[in-house]
Amino acid sequence: MDNLTFVGTATTLLRLGSFTVLTDPNFLHRGQRAYLGKGLWSKRLTEPSMQPGDLPPLDAIVLSHLHGDHFDRIARRELVREQPVITTTKAAAKLRTWDFDAHGLETWESETLTKTGEAGPETLSVESLPGIHARGVMGALLPPVMGSLLTHRVGGAVARRVYLSGDTLTGDHLDEIARRHPEIDVAVVHLGGTRVLLHTVTMDDVQGVDFLRRVQPTKAVPVHYDDYGVFRSPLSAFTRRAREAGFGDRVQTVQRGETVLL
């Protein structure tokens, strides 16, 4: 059964058919600090449910962007290098200097993994979707970010579509995603209302509900909401606002270390 295990921050293990994918690997321990660039740091407030040595064999890592709370020094030191890391072109260039098999995608480009199973060819495509980490001057200071659409097919037929939002704000780019991909089974939504230099750089509760309105996923799994001091919008605010807006039945919360069916 397709499922998601929540490790912490935006780190999840996705099992789609016979494929196992790790997202945004962040394994820093409680009390350690993540480097956010430009001399900025944030202390981790929670403990991840796994470390790299606890992971199963991976078919791929999908990385939304190269930030210390999404790919940290533990990931750099301890993750195996064999599986591809699918990410932005800028992040891929850096990861290759660390000997990772990094594959950079421009927006709307995709990469496909293939296996042969009893039911026929099984594929998992990863398509880079637009994301906006910040606007204005702050946007120029932060690394490029992408969302990702994971489409699992068995025997050529679509089995499941999973949209990883990445650290994006809401906006018109989501309307274009919805136009191109109107049938999203699951959205893994990066929230937290992250505040950096007085700017909000990830969706808070209000933007999170606007994301649901625009994208209309069948199910939404919120992540990235309480792990660092720069996260200012709690999960409870999002779930309450989602209920009030009529999306309560679509939101599936998951605790660190818990596995939920997709």
| Average pLDDT score over residue span 3-7 | 98
Question: What pLDDT does residue 139 have?
Answer: 63
C-alpha pair distances (Å), 230 with each of 4, 33, 62, 193: 25, 11, 23, 8
User: What pLDDT is attached to residue 39?
Assistant: 66
Note the pTM of the prediction, 2 decimals.
0.96
**pLDDT(165) > 90:** yes
Residue 38: pLDDT above 70?
no
pLDDT value at residue 262: 97
- Specify the pLDDT at position 40: 74
Could you tell me what percent of the chain has a pLDDT over 70?
Answer: 96
Cα dihedral sign, 160-235-42-145: positive
The answer, yes or no, to whether residue 41 has pLDDT greater than 90, is no
Give the residue-averaged pLDDT of 246-262: 98
Residue keyed to tokens 């820093």: 28
Tens of pLDDT along 145-158?
999 999 999 999 99
Q: In what order do the strands lie in the sheet with 120-130?
A: 110-117, 120-130, 146-154, 157-164, 186-190, 219-223
> In the prediction, which pLDDT does 65 show?
97
pLDDT band at 35 (very low <50, low <70, confident <90, very high): confident
pLDDT band at 220 (very low <50, low <70, confident <90, very high): very high
CA pair distance 7, 12, nearest whole angstrom: 5
* Rounded CA separation 191/167 (Å): 8
250 has pLDDT over 70: yes
Q: What does the H/E/C string look like for the chain?
A: CCEEEEEECCEEEEEECCEEEEECCCCCCCCCEEEEECCEEEEECCCCCCCHHHCCCCCEEECCCCCCCCCCHHHHHHCCCCCEEEEEHHHHHHHHHCCCEEEEECCCCEEEEEEEECCEEEEEEEEEEECCCCCCHHHHHCCCCEEEEEEEEECCEEEEEEEECCCCCCCHHHHHHHHHCCCCCEEEEECCCCEECCEECCCCHHHHHHHHHHHCCCEEEEECCCCECCCCCCHHHHHHHHHHCCCHHHECCCCCCCEEEC
What is the pLDDT at residue 194?
Answer: 85
pLDDT in tens, 100-121: 999 999 999 999 999 986 667 9
Whole-number pLDDT of residue 134: 77
